[in-house]
Amino acid sequence: MISFKILEEKFLAYLVCSVVPFLAFSIFFADLVCSILSIFFIIYLIKHNSIFFYKNIIFVATLFFYFLCLFSSLLSEETLFSLKSSLPLIRIIIFIFLVSFLIENNKFFLDIFYNFLKYTFLILVFYGLVLYIYEYYFSLSNSTIAYVRLKLPFSDEQKLGSLLVRLYGLLIAIYILKKNYKKFENFLLFFLTIFTSVVILLSGERSSLFFLMLFILTCLISLNVSFKIKISFFFILFTSFALILTQNSNLSERMILDKNNDLKFSSNQKELIIFTSKHTAHYVSGFKMFKDKPFAGQGPRMFRLLCDKEGYKTIINDKKSCSSHPHNTYIQLLAEIGVFGTILFSLIFFHIIFIHVKHIILKIFFKKNTLTNYQVIISTSALIVVWPFSPSGNFFNNWMLIICALPLSFYFNEFFRYNFYNKK
């Protein structure tokens, strides 16, 4: 039997888990740790001739996705520029499977990961509340500030809500899996859930608020929890949100009543406006790039170089299409890597939808549960990563790739598990 002693050590678990706080405090160190660990895992597998690892169909599929990205870069107008995004993508794929392996085979990993998540969230929620109170009262004395946007610590990135909504499900899922229900821990997680949701609202990130609602509604429908608990939680959360929004007109106008948020046909131009005119311009430009190269795509990272060129440039209601990315994951994938890579990525979405619909139908009509509570939360966390019908960040951004890798690691481990120890 192949020895995996190094991968079972506590030190390695701590090193992997350190990515969680680094995502909040230093993307450079998060990326550095991710890269070093990925290289280590590749070397280790090759050294021990662990060829069975590559037989995992999910790993093969992700490698195929990677080579499609490389192929698109090689055919792009700026090959070297595009390769800067596609080449390093392999480290994220390896990191996903390293985490997936540790979940299954490192006895320390889940406990350490849970504690890293819990304390990181406690710090970030406290930080978010204090920052909001300070920024809110500062904005009251400064009429030029329309609303407050919460940033990550030591950064100008307005991604606090995005980090919280993408990782909080993992904290709840691991707690459920551990089955160590202490009274204090129950209360802590309940209040942490409420305050995390509040900070996501206060962050001013509309996409993060939408993902929060998607996560909560999916879990309320699919979780095997008493109706009384579900209603109590929903009532407390709804009341908290209502109080905040009624007390802060600027926040409510940005998150709920913003006149720029349109989903309608423009009477003047007779064209569909999705979310905002600016978003629509991004999407139209992305589709033009896809139509030009439907199979290979323009190349990862190429949207920012091509969006202002003739043939792709789009202006809707004086809003231009040019940006670093088209603000939708699937439109970005269609434009930059083509239809085959997009279909491959979308299979995750369809799988999650299928297992949830199956679970809900059997639960309602046959009183049968096909998913455990752990599986519901893990798959819903992964659903946020692959959701197609909302604005999103840059798919090839390092921070986004790493933060999305964590839910996918748990999802792949649970639904496409491949046990190393079954092989000799």
Reported as a single tens digit per residue, the pLDDT across 34-93 is 999 999 888 877 777 665 555 578 888 999 999 999 999 999 999 999 999 999 999 999
First vs last C-alpha separation in the chain: 4
Query: Is pLDDT above 80 for 135?
Result: no
Most distant pair of Cα atoms in the chain: their distance: 70
Query: Is pLDDT above 80 for 261?
Result: no
- Residue 259 pLDDT: 53
Query: Is pLDDT above 50 for 116?
Result: yes
Quickly tell me which residue has 């499900």 as its tokens.
Answer: 169
Region 12-41: mean pLDDT is 93
Region 176-202: mean pLDDT is 86
- Residue 420 pLDDT: 47
Per DSSP, the three-state class of 319 is strand
Q: Which of 128-137, 146-155, 260-269 has the lowest mean pLDDT?
A: 260-269
Q: Which of 96-100, 255-259, 277-281 has the lowest mean pLDDT?
A: 255-259
Query: Is pLDDT above 60 for 422?
Result: no
Q: Which of 88-102, 177-191, 338-352, 369-383 has the lowest mean pLDDT?
A: 177-191
The fraction of the chain above a pLDDT of 70, given in percent, is 86
Cα separation, 243 vs 241, whole angstroms: 5
Band (248; pLDDT cuts 50, 70, 90): confident
The fraction of the chain above a pLDDT of 90, given in percent, is 53
At CB < 8 A and 24+ separation, what contacts does 319-325 make? 319/276, 319/277, 319/278, 319/280, 319/281, 320/278, 320/281, 321/281, 321/282, 321/284, 321/285, 322/285, 323/282, 324/394, 325/282, 325/393, 325/394, 325/395, 325/396, 325/397
- Residue 5 pLDDT: 66
418 vs 421 pLDDT, higher one: 418
Q: What does the mean pLDDT of the chain come to? A: 86
Quickly tell me which residue has 């999103």 as its tokens.
Answer: 392
- Residue 330 pLDDT: 96
Band (180; pLDDT cuts 50, 70, 90): low
- Residue 7 pLDDT: 67
With b for 16 or more beta-carbon neighbours within 10 A and e for fewer, the 43-73 pattern comes to: eebeeeeeeeeeebebbeebeebbebbbbbb
Spell out the residues 6+ positions from residue 328 whose beta carbon is closer than 8 angstroms to its own.
Answer: 279, 282, 283, 286, 388, 390, 391, 392
- Residue 110 pLDDT: 94
424 vs 143 pLDDT, higher one: 143
270 vs 170 pLDDT, higher one: 170
Region 335-346: mean pLDDT is 96
The number of beta carbons lying within 10 Å of the beta carbon of residue 339 is 15
Region 369-381: mean pLDDT is 94
Q: Which of 88-97, 148-157, 347-356 has the lowest mean pLDDT?
A: 148-157
pTM of the model: 0.90
Region 19-41: mean pLDDT is 93
Q: Whats the size of the chain, residue-wise?
A: 424
Residue 159 is encoded by which pair of tokens? 């991604």
pLDDT in tens, 41-58: 888 777 776 655 555 788
- Residue 258 pLDDT: 58
The number of beta carbons lying within 10 Å of the beta carbon of residue 417 is 12
Residue 406 is encoded by which pair of tokens? 């964590």
255 vs 356 pLDDT, higher one: 356
Query: Is pLDDT above 80 for 354?
Result: yes
Query: Is pLDDT above 50 for 366?
Result: yes
Query: Is pLDDT above 70 for 2?
Result: no
Q: Which of 228-242, 333-347, 348-362 has the lowest mean pLDDT?
A: 228-242
Cα separation, 119 vs 21, whole angstroms: 9
- Residue 421 pLDDT: 43
Burial status of residue 410 (CB atoms within 10 A of its CB: 0-12, 13-18, 19 or more) = buried
Region 311-324: mean pLDDT is 82
Q: Indicate the DSSP class of residue 338.
A: -
Residue 112 is encoded by which pair of tokens? 């350490």
Cα separation, 112 vs 280, whole angstroms: 43
Region 404-413: mean pLDDT is 95
